[in-house]
Every structure is written in structure tokens, then in C-alpha cells.
Structure 1
Amino acid sequence: MIKQWRLAYEIKLPHHRDPLPKALFFWQVNDVTWRMGVANQSMASDFILVGLFSHSGPHLVLFSLVCAMFTTGLLGNTILFFLIWTDTRLHSPMYFLLGQLSLLDIGFPLVTIPKMAANFLQGGSSISFGGCAAQMFFLMSVGVSEGVLLSLMSYDRYVAVCHPLHYAMLMRPQVCLLMVGTSWFSGVLVASIQTSITLHFPYCASRTVDHFFCEVPALLKLSCADTSTYELALSVSGVLILLLPISLIATSYSHVLGAVLRMRSAEARRKAFTTCSSHITVVGLFYGAAVFMYMVPGTYHSPQQDNVVSLFYSLITPTLNPLIYSLRNREVQVALVKVLSRAGVRSKR
């Protein structure tokens, strides 16, 4: 590039004493051409995913365990969503929001696990630039949407326990739809911004992603440009995205706890504790992993730890959510028994 600039500088146009304008023109053209070449190289080349099983010994056993959890979580969330959709006794704001949570938990592992399993079975590890972009976008969309939805579910429990007489008005269908729309819109908005900025950087260095799927922190390590400013902005936005919902959840459940302790009926206290403790368990599992991944600086955790934490909130938590809600919720159990009994009667006929 320096030689081309020097040659351009020595060329003089007719009727121009100073060759500098043409030199600058050639330099700008060459610089733009170089940047376009780097961008084309980034888009044309595939990324290499290290995989989840490269840091462990018994690969086949771990792969079988992951596939079993994936199937269990997919089946559990599908059944829970089906029960909420079909059983009229579950057509309430709480179960409507829970159904949306099950829908998000279906999408979470579908974004990452099938590609990881395909690479393991085929003996490959590559993912296209478009596939990597799609993974980042959908995973971030689902993750942010679920975080917002969990905070809104805590508000639902606050209204149910602290203002039961106004519950039907405060949690009317229009409000529930607004909550769900807000969660989905937040996820799509954040994912669109962060994915587009992340993919804007040139990736001309190593193409090996030290992760089992494409995630923003892992991909930024491969960029040949200075990403420190964006990483700082990403950390700040991550704090806001995580702390705001956590603050709403903490505020809601502090009021809920106070109201539950003031209840005179032991049965009412037990029912409120059962419902709210299930939600608090889900919140703790989800936000615990998310805080470690996006609020703790990358220098304090290794790629192996990132893999484990990412597997936790992308597979383990979606698998446990339907089990937590179904095993600790009598209404869901009754609905499941009802469906199974109907299926048994039909099979006998």
C-alpha cells in the first residue's frame, strides 16, 4: 500500500502543479479497496467452532447426556405449552406468561444444540458466516426476551399476592399481550443492534471460535480491529439489560414476601410460597449464568468456563423450567393427568 501511494504521489496531472490531490485520491481508493477485501474475506470464510466435547474425555457419554437433556427439555416445554393452550382452567395471566416462557425455552436449545450435534456426528466443526450471524441474532433475541419476561412475571406475582382484588383489572388480556410484545420487541431490538455491530468488524485473523456456538464475546476475540470501545459499551449495556429486570424482580418479591408473611391462613401462605419459589428458582438459574457471562469481565473466566456457563443457560435451564413448574404446581399436574387419561380412554376404544 505504501508503494502504491508513492507511485500515485509521483504522478502529476496536466494543469496541476501540486500532485497531492491525485495522491490522496489513489490512497483513498486503495484504502477502501483494502477494507472491502477484508470485509469480503470475513463474509466469504467459514468460522470453526471448537465444540463442547473437545475439553472432555468420554465424548460419546457427554454427547448422549446432552442429547437426552435436549430431548427432555424440548418435550417438557412442548407439553407444558400444549397444556396451557388447551386446558381452559389454565387460561389465566400467570399461565399465559408461563406459556410464553415455555415457547422461549423451546427456541433456546434449538438455536445451538442441533448444529453442535451435527458437527459432532459428521466430524466437522465449521459454520458459515450467515449461520454464525443467525445463531447470534436468535440466541440474543431469545435470551433478552426471556430476561424481560421473567421480570414481568414477577410483577404478575406481585399483583396476585399484594393486590388480589384488582388482579383481573391490572392483568387484563391487553396488559398481558403488551407484556409479551414488550419482551419480544426488546429481544429483537437488542439482538439487531448488537449483531449488526459485531458483524461490522473485520475478521481477518484466526477463524477458530473457542466456543460451541457463535456468541458475541467469543467472536469479538477474533476481530483484527480494535474492539475495546465496543466491548466496554457491550458491558455497560449488559449491566443495564440485566440489572433493570433484576431490580424489578427484587422489588416485586420483597413486597410479595412481606405480604405472604402477613397472611393468616397457612394454606394461603403455602400456595403463595410454592408458586413464587418456583419462579424465583427459575430466575436464579437464568440470571446467575447470564450475570457470570455478561457482567463479569472476560479476563476473569476461561473459554472452558464460558462453555459450561453457556451450556447451563442455553440447555440446562430450559430443561429444568418445565420440570420445576409442573412438579411444584398442582394445577399443571391435574391438567397433565386429565390429558393422559383422555389419551388412555381413546387408546382403549
Structure 2
Amino acid sequence: MTYFLIPTLSDSSSSLIMGCAPNASHSPVFLLLGLSRAKVPHNLLFLLFLAIYLTTIMGNMTLVLLISRDSRLQSPMYYLLRGLSVIDMGLSTVTLPQLLSHLVSDYPTIPADRCLAQFFFFYAFGVTDTLVIAVMALDRYVAICDPLHYTLVMNRQLCACLLTFSWVVSTLHTMLHVGLLLPLRWVGDNWDNVNLPHFFCDHRPLLRASCSDTHSNELAIFLEGGFLMLGPCSLIVLSYVHIGATILRLPSAAGRRRAVSTCGSHLTMVGFLYGTIIWVYFQPPSQESQDQDMVAAVMYTTITPLANPFVYSLRNKDVKSALRRLLGRGRVDS
């Protein structure tokens, strides 16, 4: 999800001074070599990522099932949480199954059409994830700062509209960047393969490997992508500034603890998501930037989707109670 990247002079100048040879292609075969330098044996990596993927799917699917079937989990917060779980399952499925197949293959290739399709869906799920996280901050703001009108303001129709809006914005954003990738060309090796030092088709590695002028791509990342990042960030910060001020004005310590507990799970997920963004993408550029991209991609595709169901189940009494009812009686009350 490199819409968070701020292009550096070294990145842009390197693509500008390169020229494309006559044999450069718009539709090469990419050789994904991101984990080829890993010191851990591939069979162990396969077992690790398989366990992570299965746990992610099972955890988020359980959360979706509980929220869908339990009458006590029908508030707007859980409606948004169910949408987030679906997005997280999609985000993991876009990359991890392919990664697993490549870990047991001696020739991890992907054709250009599948590469662009993977790029599109990864981008779409990733951007929607950040937008829904911001919408959930708005939900917590209304719940704490205006509790008397919470059910009136944050009704099911508004939540559905906000989720739809997030998907529309994400899809348009992704189509823009896919459209800017289509004219690019890449030079293959003797076997017409383009080496991509990544484990899936991410934005920065694709631009770095291209022999075309990527100035327009980097400008779109900086302007449109930067705006799309600052919007959700600003909404989250402003929401929690007002939430914090409201909590401090509460007369009882018990009331303050309850208010903080309702935000704890969401703040944890915000920390996972935006902490990774700040840690990786806002460091000064260095020669280890490719390794930083790999770390960021692993965080997005594995850690954040994996953490979501556990954070909301371990920190949320309603979800734990619904899970106990499901396990104890084999069904959830309708």
C-alpha cells in the first residue's frame, strides 16, 4: 500500500535517467525474489505463513459469524467491525496463498496480468482498511461525546453508506494508480523475466524495476496518495482529541474507565496500522529501503489482519460473552 510513500530524489531521478531498450515489454513475467535472501529455511517459512493465514481467516470469520448472529452485537460499532474483518480476510487472501505456493516453488513467477490484478486488490483492500479504521474513530467520537444521539446519528443506514463510500474512494484511487502503471515498460533478462525483489506485486518495487519515466506515478503518490492518507489520519486525531477532552470532564473515575475501555481495542488497531506506516515510510531514505518495504508488506498482509479478531475478542466483554454462548450451546441467540 505505497500510497503512503513520499518519493525521494534518488527514487525519481533513477527512473528518469533510465531508458527502455527496444525489447522492453508492457506485459513481462515477474520473478518474485523477495524471500530468496531469507536466512530461514523456506519450509519453516511455509509453515509459519500457513499458520498465520489459517488463524487470520478463522479468527475473522468467527468474528463475522458472532456479529451476524448474536442479537447483542447489533450496534453500529460491531457492524463496522464486521466490515473490517471481511476486509482483513481479503487483504490476507490477496497475497498469502500466492506466497505459500511460491515458497514451495523453485521458480516463483507471476505474469503481468495477474500481477496487476494482485496490485489492484491489495491496494483496494488496503486503502479501504485505513478508511474504515477512520470511520470507526468517528463512531467512537459520537458514542462518547454525544451518547444520547448515538443510535440516531450512527444508524445502520449511515454505517452502510460510510462503508460503501470507503469502497468507492478506494476503488477509484486504485484505478488511478493501475492506470498509471499500464503504460510502463520493463526489461527482462535472457528468459524475459523481470526480477522483482518482493514477495508480491507492490507499488514501489514495480516502479523501481521499470525502465520507463515514473515521474507521473510518483507525483500521484505524493499528491493524491498523500491527501488520502492525511484525511483519515486527521479524522482519527480530531476524534480522539474530542474524546480525550470529554473523558477528562466525566465526574466519576468509573465512567472514565468505561469510556477508555470502549476505545481501547480501536486504539490498538490504529497503533498497529499507522505505527507501521510511520515506522517504515517516514524514515529517511536509506539503502535498506527495499528491506523496509518487505517489513511493511509483512506487517500489512499478516500482522494487522491477524491481530484484529484477537484484539477485539480479548479486550471486549460483549464479544467474549457471545463466543462463550456460541461454544457453550452450539448456537448464538437470534
Greater shift in the superposed pair: 119-128 or 73-82: 119-128
Cα drift, residue 236 of structure 1: 2.6
Residue 317 (structure 1) shift: 0.7
Greater shift, 174-183 or 200-209, is seen at 200-209
Cα offset, 1:51, TM superposition? 3.3
Return structure 1 stretches of 4+ with deviation > 6 angstroms: none
Aligned to 1:302: 289
Larger Rg: 1
| Alignment partners' CA distance in 1, 2:180 and 2:34 | 25
How well do the aligned residues superpose, as a CA RMSD in angstroms?
Answer: 2.1
Residue number among 305, 311, 333 corresponding to 1:324 in the alignment: 311
Q: Name the structure with the higher helix share.
A: 1
- What is the CA–CA distance in structure 2 between the aligned matches of 1:261 and 1:285, rounded to whole Å? 25
Structure 2: stretches of 5+ with no match in the other structure: 1-19
Moved more, 135-144 or 231-240: 231-240
Matched letter for residue 140 of structure 1: Y
Q: CA separation in 2, counterparts of 1:68 and 1:253?
A: 35
Aligned residues of 2:180 and 2:216 also touching (Cα < 8 A): no
Measured in 2, the distance between the counterparts of 1:308 and 1:293 equals 8
Structure of higher RCO (CA pairs closer than 8 Å, 6+ residues apart): 2
Question: CA separation of 1:175/1:301 partners in 2, compared to 1, >3 Å: closer, same or farther?
Answer: farther
* Paired letter, 2:294: N
Pick the aligned partner of 1:340 from 309, 327, 333. Answer: 327
Q: Distance in 2 between matches of 1:127 and 1:298?
A: 29
Change (3 A) 1:218 1:297: farther
2:26 to 42, 45, 55: 42
Tell me the TM-score normalized by structure 1: 0.83
Per-residue CA deviations over 1:118-139 (Å, capped at 9, x if unaligned) read: 0111332100111101110000
Match of 2:270 among 264, 278, 283: 283
Does 1:57 find its partner at 2:40? yes
Q: Which amino acid aligns with 1:270?
A: R
- TM superposition shift of 1:319: 0.2
Q: Which amino acid aligns with 2:296?
A: V
Equivalent position SS for 1:321: helix
Mapped to 2, the partners of 1:337 and 1:58 lie a distance apart of 39
Post-superposition CA distance 1:95-117 (Å, at most 9, x none): 00000000011011100010011
TM-score, normalization: structure 2? 0.86
| Residue in 1 that maps onto 2:254 | 267
Q: Is the 8 A contact 2:264 2:315 kept in 1?
A: no
Uncovered stretches (5+) of structure 1, i.e. residues with no partner: 1-34
Count of aligned residue pairs for this structure pair: 308
Aligned-pair CA distance for 1:205: 4.7
Matches within 5 A, 1:21-100: 41-43=25-27, 45-52=28-35, 54-100=37-83
